[in-house]
Amino acid sequence: DTEVTQTPKHLVMGMTNKKSLKCEQHMGHRAMYWYKQKAKKPPELMFVYSYEKLSINESVPSRFSPECPNSSLLNLHLHALQPEDSALYLCASSQEASIGTGELFFGEGSRLTVL
Amino acid sequence: RKEVEQDPGPFNVPEGATVAFNCTYSNSASQSFFWYRQDCRKEPKLLMSVYSSGNEDGRFTAQLNRASQYISLLIRDSKLSDSATYLCVVNPQHGNKLVFGAGTILRVKS
């Protein structure tokens, strides 16, 4: 079982809705990530938080807003999404702030459908 | 040119077969290399890191060729449970960014 927990597992929302995806890890990891994965495509990096500070934003549209309330939690706030934003959103964490070992621990993902 | 390129497959092999995947990367300054495995509708999980000297973990062997900028994964004695997508992952420079290849699909059949 994964040690990174994501909720909800499935989410359906309209283009005018506001929703949030949540991620939690209790491994004491110092970095947390949001990835987006479309069907039959690799995960694409969206955001990286190191020591609770945003360190990487891969030019993600502002309708996606990340938040890191503390070292164990990572949220992704969603507002005015488009149907093409439908995807699997994966949260991950790594022990070190720099991915020296390359081991990312992924959650099972939140499957988002935008109508 | 993509940063990380893989043959998407699928590779269809019988149980017990040996199968190899290659992955090429474009940034010659890349420092770290990994293979991840992703089962259908599941999250990716680290399979193994790839070291300059090559490394082996049971039936799995990973190798790095810096001169030609590719890494490889060899699976011996394939099992049905090896069926998955194998993602080549590269850290192009020291830092918090990993670049994932599109993945190679392996199907092991009885």
- The nearest CA of chain B is from the CA of A101 a distance in Å of 8
With a CB cutoff of 8 Å and minimum separation 6, the contacts of B108 are: B13, B14, B15, B17, B78, B79, B80, B81, B82, B83
pLDDT at B94 over 70: no
Search chain B and give the residue with CA nearest A91. B43
Pick left, alpha or beta for residue A28 (phi over 0 → left; psi -120 to 50 → alpha; otherwise beta): left
How distant is the Cα of A2 from the closest Cα of chain B, in angstroms? Answer: 9
Please give the interface size between A and B, counted as residue pairs whose CB atoms are below 8 Å apart. Answer: 55
Nearest CA in chain A to B105: A40
Position with higher pLDDT, B95 vs B91: B91
**What is the DSSP code (8-state) at residue A81?**
-
> From the list A45, A101, A108, which residue is nearest B97 (CB)?
A45
pLDDT band at residue B95 under the 50/70/90 scheme:
low
Over residues A4-19, mean pLDDT: 95
User: Among residues B15, B69, B64, which one has the least CA distance to residue B35?
Assistant: B64
Q: Is the pLDDT of residue A101 over 70?
A: no
Distances (CA, A) of A74 to A23, A29, A65, B98: 5, 12, 11, 19
Q: Scanning the structure block, which residue is given the tokens 């699997």?
A: A88
- Measured in whole angstroms, how far is the alpha carbon of residue B79 from the centre of its chain? 17
pLDDT tens track for A62-98: 999 999 999 999 999 999 999 999 999 999 999 876 6
**What would the pLDDT profile of B43-89 be if each residue is shown by its tens digit?**
999 999 998 888 999 999 999 999 999 999 999 999 999 999 999 99
Distance of CA A19 to the CA centre of its chain: 13
